[in-house]
Every structure is written in C-alpha cells, then in structure tokens.
Structure 1
Amino acid sequence: MDGVSIIKEHQKSIIDIIRNTTRGDWKVLVLDENTEKIINATVNEDDILNHNIANIERIEERREPNPTMDAIYVISPQPHIVDCLMADFERRRYRSAFLIWTGVLPDTLARRVDAARRQIAAPPQNLFVDFYPRESHLIAFQDPSSFQVLYNPMCNDLVARHLTTLAQKVAAVCHTLGEAPKIRYYSPQTATHEAGVLSFHLARFLQTEIDRLQKLDPNFPPQTTRPQSILLITDRSMDLMAPLLHEFSYQSFIHDVLPLKEQPNGKITYKMVVNEGLPNAEETDSEITERDKLWVENRHKHMADTIERLMKEFKSFIAKNPNFAGKNENETSLNDIRDMLAGLPQFQEMKAAYSLHLTMSQEAMNIFQKFKLSEVASVEQTLATGLDEDLKKPKNVLDQVVRLLDDPAVAPTDRLRLIALYALYRDGMIDQDLLRLLWHASLQRARDSTDKVAIENLELLGARPLKTQLKEVPPRQSHQPLFPPNTKTAVESEEYALSRFEPAVKHMLEDLCSGTLDQTCFPYVIPPQAGGPSDDAFQTQGSLRSAAPRWASANRRQVENRQRIIVFMAGGATYSEARACYEVSEKQNRDVYLVTSHMLTPAKFIDDLRLLKSDRRRLQLPMDEPPKKAPAHLFERPAPPPQQVRPPQPGGGGAGGGAPGMGMGGQMPPGGPRPPTKALGAMTLSSGPGPGGPSGGGGGHERTSSSATGASVGDDKEKKKKKRNIFGMKKDK
C-alpha cells in the first residue's frame, strides 16, 4: 500500500544520527543489549559500517581499550547502562564520547553523566526509536507481559509504572513519524471492571510525554501541510471476540494454526524442509519479511484468494517455461507445484518465496479440513455477530455448539474457544451450565485443569461469563455491542460467510473517518475548540483524492498530505485488527498505524486468560526481576605491567631454567646450598635411600652426609639392604 513506512522512518532516524555524528571521521559504535535489538530490527550491520563506523561493540561486554578513537554511544537511559558508561570514562577506554540516548535521561542519572563532561565531545542527543516496527504500518513493543500487568489484580502496584513506559514508547513512535496528534481514548460507559479506566490514564500520561517532547525538541513536530494526526487509545477489553475467532485471512490463519516462531525483535520464521525429496534436502528456518513481495501482496487476502493467486501465478510461470512443466498444467495441484519447485535451481529467490508460501498454505488447509474448521467457524461467526448467514437472529445456537463440542474431530483448544464465545454471546450463564459445556467438550476433567478459570477470567476484561442465577431480579439490561453489526450487506459466497465478523477497531476507524465517532465513548484528552476544525474536516478532500485516477495515487506529494491516524491497543492486538487498519487506510485514503505492546494469537490469549488470577511469582514478570547491574569485569583494575627479567649473568649455564633455588642459567645464588656432587657420584641403583626419601631425591635442597652413601655400612644397614629390591624399595613380606 502507499504511505510512509514506519520501517523506513525508523531506519532513517538511526542512519541519519550516526552519519551526522561521524561527519566523515572513523568512530566506534557502542550499543547495549536493548539498543542492539532495536537497531537490528530495521538496520543492517553493513549499512552502519558504511557510515564511517570502524567497529560495533557492546557496552556490557569485555572490550580492548581504544584510546586513539572516538566512540558513539547509542544506549538506553537505564541506571546499569549509566554505570557501564561511567566505567568506560574511568578507564578512558576511548578518546572521547558522543552520547545518544534512546529516551529521556532522568535527572539523577544526567547529573552523574555531566560530572564526566570532559570526556564528552558534544552535547548529548536523543534518538526516540525504542520500539520494533513489524510492518510498514504495524509497530510492537515486544512485551507480552503487558497483558498480565494491566489486567491481573495481583499486579496493581505495577500499573502506573507500566503505563508510563507505554506512554514513552508511543510518544517515540509519534516523534519518529513527526506527529503531535490529538488524542482520543476509549471510555466504556458501563464498565464494572477495574481496568475500565486504563485508556483514560494512559491517554493522560501520553499527553504529558508529547508535551515534554515538544519542549525538548523545538523542531517537533516539523512543519507540514498534512492535517493534524489523531491518536486513538484503546485496550483489549474493547473487543474480546477478535482474539478468539478463527480469522481466514492468510496472515491471521497461519499465525493461528501453524508453529510460527517469533524472535525477540519481532521477526517471524517458519521451519520447513528445503529441496524435499532430493539428496540436498535440509531443514531451515525461513523468515517472513517485508522484502517478500508475495507475502506483502497476499497476507491480508482470504485464504481461498491467496491459494488461487499463488497457483495462478505459478501456472503463468509454467506457461512461459514449457520445458519445465512435466504434466498438464490444468492438473497441477499445490503438492505438484511444490514438487516442481524442487527442480528449480536457476530461480533461487523465486523458488524460496513460492516454496515457503505454498508449503504454509498447504499445511494450513490440511489443518482446516482435518479439524472441521469450516463448521466451527460457521458457529463462531454466529456467536460473534449475533446473526446467522442470512443476517437474521439465529436459532438453536446451543444445539449447534453442543454438537461441535461432542465431535472428537474438533480440537480441544477450538472447543474451549467455542465455549468462551458462547459465554460472551449469552452475556453470562450459570456455573452449572458452564460445567456441562466443559464436560461435553471433555475439558476440565483433571483437578489441575485451568479451562474453567480461563472462561471465568474474562470478567477481568469487562465481560460477564457467569451469573449467579438463571433469572436475575431485577433483570440486567441487555448488553448492547459497541458497534452494531451490519445487517444490510449480503454475504458474497460460502467462503466469505466464514468472515462476516469485523473487529471493533475497523468500525471505530470508519466512524472516525466519517466524523461520526461517538465523543462520549471516545472523548478527547484536550477537547477541540468551539468552531475549530474537527476530525472529519478533511473528509471531503479525502473523498476527492480517492476518486482521482489511479496514476494520481502514485504521486508522492499526495501521499505525504494524507492524514495519519495512530491506534494504540493496550494488552495486545490481533492480526485481524492489523488487517482492518490496512483496509481502512486504503479505503479512506489515510495512513493508519497500529501500535501495540505485542501481537496476540488465539492460543496466546487463552494462555494469558488462564494466568490472570495467578500469583505474581508464577508470572515471572520482567518488572519483578532484580534491577540489572553493570558487569563486574568493567570495574576490574587493569593488571600491573609484567616485571622486566634480568639478563643472564656472563658465564652462566644453558638457556633452560635452573633447578629450584638457582639463579638464571642454572647457577646457584651466592651463599646458597651446594649441590651434593660427591654423594650423587657415589650413588648406584642398588644404593640405599638418602635422608630425603627412598631414592635420595630429597637431597636436592639440603646438604647430604657422605656417610649415608659410603661404600661400607654397618651390619644393621646391611640387614635392611637385603630386604630391599634393586630399586631400593622394601620387599613385601
């Protein structure tokens, strides 16, 4: 899609500040563990080295002193990192230092650093890039513990500190994009859970951080002709259906059903066999990246469309290369195409991309058929939308749910997701009914099972999974959805009937762009002035742009003038919500960026629900870990220089070392003991032991009496001698 990529903006910010600091002179770049991960997320090492960086080093690791070269420190404003920096200053490890902090340095730490200003070559700078761009319009903080901190009652004392951290990171995203947005936040009107005020407090914290950045950086935000951006703050409790449903867009579905591995810096890999069936077959981790054109073009398409497009494009390749096809192209299946790709050594890059996506598509569809996901998803859509496929009020919903719970072909995790969706659909059921459903699903059979706990803990996110009695007196007011479902759009096909549900984020963005977003549910932190421009002031202009011919959409100036909308989802976002943001961007001619603490999959969401009332010690939260300390080796005193060895005296012995107690060349020091030359000369193999031991070896350091080794000995010595063998050792009796 068009628009400014946060990946490129993140990369540009890092490269620009390094280039402007080196200014053509060679320097060392010093990073810490955190900044190294952040930089590696978007910048290649070669790109850094090409800007007069002689070497890249880690501040926590052992390093050789380099007092003839300056160093650029790109480091985190953390106490233990400041300790590492001060250790470098004390050792004068580099000639001088250029400091670049990835956040605002607290005053107490700033005073410590200022005390060493003689070694600092220039005023410290800030580089607000403490986040991980996942896609062109998707940003994550890679902090899955955020969910527990925000919603687990045992973590209440951590919430304020965590909200401050989140606000600083969201502000860093705004600074990188050059936006000082108007802030609106989700304010549920009937919230009964403690976390119902999270968005309100986070919005206040974020406004404070934006104001502080404007004071620190007089050039923020830069002058632009774009309309002022809008930042919407919401949290996971706004939409509990999205992380439970099976979403059949390509990206969402493979993250749901395939064993994709997420790296700490947000990179995604899939383990697959390359050249399967050939002698050079090997297992490898294939990375799914933004550089993969096939991935970017297909990730938000429905699985049916993705497979059709992949096969169509590959058949087109076969038509252009008739010698490659081994059978009728009309009979080519996904498995046939995979086999053909194994014989394509001359098209390595294309082969790798097609192999990856055809393999993942085939594996995903195998799971779709094996676990009857078509039937499961049909009921899920009814529960999530409250409407059947004909967009009418559904009938016999419980019977459909129970039938699937009793079906052994349905996976246990899918059964639990069905029960959770049914509890949300019913807005609560009595405890006995929940136990019956779990029994039908063959769940909660073990004493230590947490399946029931996972359902009950939805209450901490604002839902009501249980109620005390069948008929409440007075009856509770019927729960109204935040955004009522669309009952006018007909379902296009059977495949799309399984994708009727749209995340609340999409409805929120569409209402925002049309100027109809409820200011009661989504108030401003700073209300707009009366008579001032509203969020929909540029709606007409946006519509005119969208009506322009396609060649106009490629105009860079038009893209730069598009209004930017930033959505922050606290507690984790789903890939279906990421898809919704891209779709609104395309349809409404705006740039929508989704920012979140981490990306959620259904399995991850269920696991988090299980732990929501667990003791803090079980959670192993990073915030509960002891404060990090600078490595001890940074404070070690350098070893003293080795003492010079005196040259050997004239007339000394050979080059080898002498015996203990001797000087250089084997000479005895003056006044020292003399070697027992006479005794040694008279010793034979049959001689008795000397005073120092059985073989007389102890005489090397003491004078030895000649009577102990003489030719004649007394009778008592002769008797003892007869009891010894030829080596002077006593014989066994």
Structure 2
Amino acid sequence: MAPTAVGAASGERGLKSLVWQKLKLSVFDDCRKEEEWKLIILDDFTTKLLSSCGKMTDLLAEGITAVENVYKNREPVPHMKAIYFITPTKKSVDGLINDFVSKASSKYKAAYVYFTDFCPDILFNKMKSSCSRAIRRCKEINISFFPYESQVFTLDVPDAFFCCYSPTVEKANGKDAIMEAMAEQIVTLCATLEENPGVRYKSKPLDNASKLAELVENKLENYYKIDEKSQIKGKTHSQLLIIDRGFDPVSTVLHELTFQAMAYDLLPIENDTYKYKTDGPSGKEREAILEEEDELWVKIRHKHIADVLEEIPKLLKEVSSKRKATEGKLSLSNLAQLMKKMPHFRKQITKQVVHLNIAEDCMSKFKSSIEKLCKTEQDLALGTDAEGQKVKDAMRVLLPVLLNKNHDSYDKIRAILLYIFSTNGTTQENLDKLIQNVQIESDSDMIKNWKYLGVPVVVSSASQQRRQSRKDRSSEETFQLSRWTPVIKDVMEDAIENKLDSKEWPYCSQCPASWNGSGAVSARQKSKTSYLDDRKSGSKLIVFVIGGITYSEIRSAYEVSQAYKSCEVIIGSTHILTPRRLLNDVKMLNKPKDTVCIKNEEKL
C-alpha cells in the first residue's frame, strides 16, 4: 500500500495522489513522533481504500510496522500505540472497544482513532463511555470514496443499482438509506478536491438524479458551514452533474474495441488482475495487475485494439534489437526464451509481454465471433451504416446475429437490446417472438427489466419516439467498427462550453457565473475562448452516474480533459460496469433481495 504518485518515475496520479496526501497529512503526520513505530488497524472498507492509493513500503516510511484487521482476533502488543483508521459503523467501533475492555487487558498502549466520515452520536458516546481513557486522538477525515484511477472514483456500492432501480425496494426504506450514504460519500470527494461545486442533474427519465442532487447540495452546504478550517465559503469554479444510468443504455451493452474496455468485456479480469501463461498452455500461470503505475498501460489503455497491436510489437522489437538476442519472427514464445537468456532486462520486457498477451487474447475472441457482431451493433446504435446510409429496416440488420450459432445468448441479448434502444421500444408481440426464437426465456428479464431504468422496452407502435439527435462527429477520424461515441462525452463537452439546456439540466444550487450558461444564448453572447478564460485555471467538471459507469465513459473523461485544457473532468459512480455484469444485475431487478449491502448500514 503506497501512494501511486510518490517518486519521480511514477509521475502525477491525480485522485490517487490527492487521497494519499490527505491520508498522510490527516492521519500519519497528525500522530507522528520521531523514532516511534505504530501499528495500523483497518476494517474492510479502509483496507481497500488504503490499498487503492498506497503500498506497504510507504506505510513503513510513515512508521507503520504492521497492518491488522479490526474484526479479527489479534495478539496484544501492549507496549505499542495503534492507529485505528475505520468506518463509523457499529461493527468497527465494537472492534475498537473490545481492544480496550479494561486497562489490564488492553491490546495496545493507546489508540489514535480516525473515521472515514461523520460518526453518529450514538456510536461516539458508546466509544467515549467504554474506552475514552485509551484514546489520544479522535477525528473524522472525510474520505469515503475510492480513487480508481487518476480521474475516476467509485463509491464501491454495486448494490446501489438494485436499491435505486428495483421496484421491490421502493416499499422499504432501502432506497432512502442508500441515497443518504451516496450523498455523504460524494461530499467527501468534493472535500478532498477542495471544491464546492454547483450541482446540476439530468431531469429525465427518472427522479433519482434530482433526489441525490438535492441531498448532495444540502450536505455540501452543511459541510462547508461546519468546517472552520476550510477557506471555501462560496461556490468554487467547478460543477457536479448527477445522472441516472438509463440516460445512455447503448454504451453499456455495445462491444467496445478500445484496449481497456475490450479487455474487461471479453477476458476474465477480476479485481484488475489478468492471468496469463508465457510458455504456451503448459507454462506456468502468471498474474499481472492493470494499474496506473504501469506507464505502458496508461499510454495504451484508451487506444483502439488495432493501434495497440501495432504499437507493442514495435516496442518489443526496439528492446530485442538493442540486445541482438532474437532471430526470426517476433512471438510470445521467442520473447519468453529471450527473458530466460537475459534476466537483467526481464522487467523491461515483462510489461510489453503482458499487454501483448492481453491484446492477442482479445483478438482471438474478436476474430472467432465478435467481429461480425460489431458491424451490426454499430449500425443499430447509430441508425446509419459505415457509409452514412440510413438503416431502413433494423430487424433485417438484427436477424443474422440471432441466427448465427457462434454467438452466445449474452451477445444475442446485447444485440436485441440495441435493436430495442434504436427504435425506442418495440411491441409486446415483437418482443415475445424475439425471446422465443432465440430461446432466451430464462434470461428475458435482462431485456424486460430495462423499463425500471426509465428505458422504453415495450411500447405501442403508435407511441414509438424518434431517435435522440446527437452531435455530428462524421468529421472525426475513427474505425468503422468503433463509430459510436458515448452520450456522456456530448454532455461533458456541452457542460464545459455552457451549452447544457437548463430545463433538461436544472440547477440545485447557484453556479458561478462562468458555469451558468443555459444553452445557445450564452454561447452566442460569448466566444468559446472568453467564457473558458473566465474560469480559474484548474476548474473541474465532476460527473456522477447512479448505477455504474462503463470503461468507454471513463475514456471519454480523459479525452475531453485533453481537448479542453481549462477544465479537468472527473468521472465517478457507484461502481464500474462490464456488459455481462450489468445484464446479470438488470435481470435481478424484479426479484426479491433479502439482504442489500449499504455501506453504512451499521451506523445505527
């Protein structure tokens, strides 16, 4: 657990660096004494949080000798002081109290307690009455989100999807509880960024975004009112957009051919860990973590697979030609032999080999079945073919996919959904025929349950709506099988250029003058450069999607930040989506769920 941005080689890592620096200042520096070693006690949430921005070596540099779990039995170390970095939940607080039941049986010499966010009075008083004699510090540091990448955060509450969109949760209070928890987490993100953004939300198709936006605005106001140290008294030059997942269903099911999105869709990557073999099928299995410390990964993750397959072999040839150690055709087996012969530059070549493995794995899946799918998907999503001709009969485009035995049921369901999205719904009769012909009765809720996200699925033929108009990107260079642009990219660009319609994107709060455009009017009044210049350098656009974001939407945040130097885009959600995982979640929406994991369910 180390800061991913520490050291000259690793460079800036945005959110991860910010979170580590805040932890260092608020926790480690706060209780530091020269030549005094301490233990750190974590719960599951803070273990993951610390792991997301740091490594064990840097904890050692902060005087931490060991990391322990507050829930588990531990050997007493009565001569040492312990830092408790925990969430303000009943389970974690009880773990702390149990360590200091009596002076004679105390596990540690003293406790320095740091909560991720606000600790309810009932828990604070319980702790105070039970073990106050042992506590030297007790603070709330306001970090209750995970920095996933330099410009990406998650709240790590995937069950929020069920809570917010399942019709069965409305009757209970589960939805209100998850909304409160999410709002608190988003406020800790804003506090970490030292921003008090103007809050806006997408008014349709559901009201989740407006409810969450209102909660966030109220909690932001309260936070900056209470925080005496903060220099922020009014709104900063930043904007927060809150959106329901149903605003762009297409980007969630389309096959993406940029490297990161494609790999996470097609390969069994779990917890950002890719498993591979270097010496063929019989070789030893290895693991590689896909993270921003890997500069090559950062360089190629948003590139099209065709560009990646061209770039990595070039890098490998450069390395091998310097060593003059390979002959003939470049292959993974040759590279494995090269690494055995010349171990002194193994590290230099390992990362290229990892990414070449990923690229080749992706391409083997692509060539076997995905390539033909992609053309159909793009035509359905855009309503035009690669030549720009309008698709006149979407069903005719869809049928070859449904009749192809090489496509599995998930791919066929994704294609059916794109057909339904392209026509803004279909008739009940048509939907029943599709489900029966493809024999997906058991998975039909993967299609039908999209209605709970506010997406039209079954409509009468008379009420079918026209396709939503999109930005014309025909002049932008792209690959024929990657013509679709996520809707969120349009939103980000329009927000930065003050072109968002205030009726479609209402305000929950007063935005700074430089953000308060209400559409074409403000664009006419000022030139693009002048209203961008009005903003302080380093202004931020924060986008939060309720119910998950895709890797293509993550890529859009980086692309827009690159294009508009005056504004950094930070994107976040409850969790990160892959198409298969989303379809499984959609299928469950109309099922009863006995237990729903809410991050602070134990605060009571």
Fold similarity call, TM over 0.5: yes
1:128–1:311 distance in 2 versus 1, CA, 3 Å: same
Q: Check the 8 A contact 1:385/1:485 in 2, yes or no.
A: no
Judge conservation of contact 1:29–1:55 (CA < 8 Å) in 2: yes
Per-residue deviation, residues 51-109 of structure 1 (Å, max 9, x unmatched) = 23344333222234444443322121112222222333332323333221111011222
Measured in 1, the distance between the counterparts of 2:111 and 2:129 equals: 14
Tell me the distance in 2 between the aligned counterparts of 1:28 and 1:3: 28
Per the alignment, residue 562 of structure 2 pairs with: 586
Give the Cα separation in 1 of the matches to 2:320 and 2:61: 41
In the TM superposition, what is the alpha-carbon distance from 1:380 to its structure 2 partner?
Answer: 0.9
- Kept in 1, the 8 Å contact 2:326–2:334? The answer is no
Alpha-carbon distance change, 627 to 112 in structure 1, aligned in 2, over 3 angstroms: closer
- Unmatched runs of 5 consecutive residues or more in structure 2: 1-9
Question: What corresponds to 1:255 in structure 2?
Answer: 264
Other structure's SS at 1:501 match: coil
Q: 128, 147, 166: which is aligned to 2:182? A: 166
- Structure 1 residue corresponding to 2:127, chosen from 113, 117, 121: 113
Counterpart secondary structure, 1:435? helix
Is 1:375 aligned with 2:400? no
- Match of 2:127, as an amino acid? V
Alpha-carbon shift at residue 365 of structure 1 (Å): 0.4
Question: Residue 241 of structure 1: CA displacement?
Answer: 0.4
Give the equivalent residue in structure 2 for 1:91: 102
State the match for 1:289 in structure 2: 291
| Aligned CA distance change for structure 1 residues 526 and 227 (closer, same or farther; 3 Å) | closer
2:529 partner amino acid: T
CA distance in 2, matches of 1:122, 1:147: 40
The answer as to whether partners of 2:245 and 2:546 remain within 8 angstroms in 1 is yes
Corresponding residue for 2:316? 314
**How has the CA–CA distance of structure 1 residues 110 and 477 changed in structure 2, closer, same or farther, with 3 Å as cutoff?**
same
- Of 197, 212, 230, the residue aligned with 1:220 is 230
Choose 73-82 or 532-541, whichever is displaced more.
532-541
Other structure's SS at 2:143 match: coil
Aligned residues of 2:278 and 2:284 also touching (Cα < 8 A): yes
Greater shift in the superposed pair: 431-440 or 99-108: 431-440
Work out whether 1:597 is the aligned partner of 2:574. Answer: yes
Partner SS for 1:568? strand
1:51-130 correspondence runs (5 A): 51-92=62-103, 93=106, 94-115=108-129, 118-119=132-133, 122-130=136-144
Amino acid at match of 1:107: D
Residues 574 and 600 of structure 1 are in contact (CA less than 8 Å); yes or no, is this contact kept in structure 2?
Answer: yes
Distance 1:349 1:74, change over 3 A: same
TM-fit CA distance, 1:117: 7.2
Q: Which residue of 1 aligns with 2:3?
A: none
Q: Residue 489 of structure 1 aligns to a residue in which SS? A: coil
Q: Which digits, 9 at most, give the CA deviation of each residue in 1:580-614, with x for residues without a partner? A: 00000000112111111111111011111211111
Higher relative contact order (CA 8 A, sep 6+): 2
Other structure's SS at 1:148 match:
helix
Q: Is the 8 A contact 1:276 1:342 kept in 2?
A: no
| Number of aligned residue pairs | 580
Q: Normalization by structure 2: what TM-score? A: 0.88
CA deviation after TM superposition for structure 1 residue 334, in Å: 6.6
Q: 2:303 aligns with which of 296, 301, 304?
A: 301
Q: Is the 8 A contact 1:170 1:595 kept in 2?
A: no
Pairing 1:519–2:521 present: no
8 A contact 1:175–1:221 mirrored in 2: no
Partner residue in 1 for 2:168: 154
The change in CA–CA distance for 1:362 and 1:55 in structure 2 (over 3 A counts) is: closer
Q: Is contact 1:389–1:491 with CA below 8 Å preserved after alignment?
A: no
Per the alignment, residue 457 of structure 1 pairs with 449
> For the Cα contact (< 8 Å) 1:102–1:128, is it kept in 2?
yes
1:534 pairs with 2:516: yes
Q: Which moved more, 1:511-520 or 1:431-440?
A: 431-440
Residue of structure 2 equivalent to 1:622: 597
Aligned pair in 2 of structure 1 residues 69, 260: CA closer, same or farther (>3 Å)? closer
Residues 384-428 of structure 1, C-alpha deviations (whole Å, 9 max, x = no match): 122222333213332121112111222332111111111111222
Residue 351 of structure 1 corresponds to 349
Match of 2:540 in 1: 564
In structure 2, C-alpha distance between the alignment counterparts of 1:343 and 1:541, rounded to whole Å: 60
The 8 Å contact of residues 97 and 119 in structure 1, kept in 2 or not, is answered as: no
* Structure 1 residues 629-681: Cα deviation after superposition (integer angstroms, max 9, x where no partner): 9xxxxxxxxxxxxxxxxxxxxxxxxxxxxxxxxxxxxxxxxxxxxxxxxxxxx
Asked if structure 1 preserves the Cα contact closer than 8 Å seen for 2:97 and 2:131, the reply is: no
What is the letter of the counterpart of residue 268 of structure 2? P
In 2, Cα distance between equivalents of 1:277 and 1:608: 33
**CA shift for structure 1 position 179:** 1.3
Shift of 1:198: 0.2
Assess if the C-alpha contact under 8 Å between 2:187 and 2:216 holds in 1.
yes
- Do the aligned residues in 2 keep the contact of 1:311 with 1:334 (CA within 8 Å)? no
Deviations 1:154-205 (A, max 9, x none): 11221100011111111111111111111111111xx4xxxx0000010111
- SS class of match (1:315): helix
Equivalence for 1:688: none
Equivalence for 1:14:
23
Distance in structure 2 (CA, Å) of the matches to 1:138 and 1:46: 24
How far apart in 2 are the matches of 1:379 and 1:599?
25
Report the secondary structure of 1:600's partner residue: coil
Whether the 8 Å contact between 1:229 and 1:564 is mirrored in structure 2 is: yes
Cα distance per residue 1:360-398 (max 9 Å; x no partner): 100110111100x22211121121122222333213332
Q: Distance in 2 between matches of 1:115 and 1:201?
A: 37
Matched residue, 1:324 = 325
Amino acid at match of 2:357: T
Change (3 A) 1:355 1:120: same
Query: 2 CA distance for matches of 1:121 and 1:577?
Result: 45
User: Partners of 1:122 and 1:506 in 2: how far apart?
Assistant: 48
1:207 to 204, 207, 217: 217
CA spacing shift, 1:57–1:363, aligned 2, 3 Å? closer
Whole-angstrom CA distance in 2 between matches of 1:90 and 1:117:
7
Structure 1 residue 37 corresponds to structure 2 residue 48: yes
CA shift in 2, pair 1:165/1:488, >3 Å? closer
Specify whether residues 613 and 348 from structure 1 end up closer, same or farther in structure 2 by C-alpha distance, changes over 3 A only: same
The residue that corresponds to 1:145 in the other structure is 159
Question: 2:31 is matched by which residue type in structure 1?
Answer: T
Whether contact under 8 Å (2:38, 2:65) holds in the other structure is yes
Indicate whether 1:187 and 2:189 are aligned.
no
TM-score by length of 1: 0.74
Whole-angstrom distance in 2 between the partners of 1:54 and 1:352: 31
SS in structure 1 of the partner of residue 147 of structure 2: strand
C-alpha RMSD of the superposition: 3.0
Retained in 2: the 8 A contact 1:186–1:521? Answer: yes
Structure 1 unpaired stretches of 5+: 263-267, 546-557, 630-733
Alignment partners' CA distance in 1, 2:492 and 2:399: 36
**One-letter amino acid of the counterpart of residue 458, structure 2:** L
Q: Distance in 1 between matches of 2:480 and 2:473?
A: 14
Q: How many angstroms apart in 2 are the aligned matches of 1:624 and 1:291?
A: 28
1:696-711 correspondence to structure 2 within 5 Å: none
| Residue of structure 2 in register with 1:270 after alignment | 274
**CA 1:399–1:216 in structure 2 vs 1: closer, same or farther (change >3 Å)?**
same
Whether the 8 Å CA contact 2:89–2:602 is kept in 1: the answer is no
Conserved? CA contact 1:450–1:610, under 8 Å: no
Task: For residue 387 of structure 1, give the secondary structure of its aligned residue in structure 2.
Answer: coil
- Mark the CA change 1:347 to 1:479 in structure 2 (over 3 Å): closer, same or farther: same
CA distance in 2, matches of 1:71, 1:397: 64
